[in-house]
Amino acid sequence: MLTKEIKDKLIQRAKDAWVRAYAPYSHYSVGSAVLTESGEIFDGVNVENAVYPLGVCGERVAIFKAVSEGHRSFQAIAVVTRNAGTPCGSCRQVMAEFGTDMIVLVANTAGELIQEYTVADLLPDSFGEADLQ
């Protein structure tokens, strides 16, 4: 279970990252921070591209950074946007790859926690390894 202190810290890291987002086309910045099982935090931002499909979401950047450093288990991820938007479907699927019990904290740029979910709440009946058997 995540304490209020840990949730606040994770949201603050996502909020701090939010200002570094590269969103010249949508003007919709996303900051994210993922908490590994070992307690390390990796942040990420969305990075857009003039060829729209080549951009990447902040949630995936944070997870990919953590994975590239050897982490495979995550406790929670915080997502900060101006209107507390939830992660897109692609990000939900990437989160599900690492566990549908991961907590997803959705906050606004004031750092206020607006909603708390699990990945299973956001992506019920997700596609996974078992489906490939």
pLDDT tens column, 77-100: 999 999 999 999 999 999 999 999
∠ CA 15-63-124, rounded to 5°: 100
CB 58 within 8 A of CB 30: yes
**Measured distance CA(119)–CA(97) in Å, rounded:** 10
**Measured distance CA(18)–CA(117) in Å, rounded:** 20
Model's pTM, two decimal places? 0.96
Taking alpha carbons only, the member of 87, 95, 86, 29 closest to residue 64 is 95
DSSP code for 88: P
Active site residues: 59
pLDDT score recorded for residue 1: 80
**Measured distance CA(34)–CA(42) in Å, rounded:** 5
pLDDT score recorded for residue 44: 98
Q: How far, in Å, are 74, 104, 118 from residue 95 at the CA level?
A: 9, 9, 10
pLDDT score recorded for residue 14: 98
Q: List the chain residues with pLDDT less than 70.
A: none
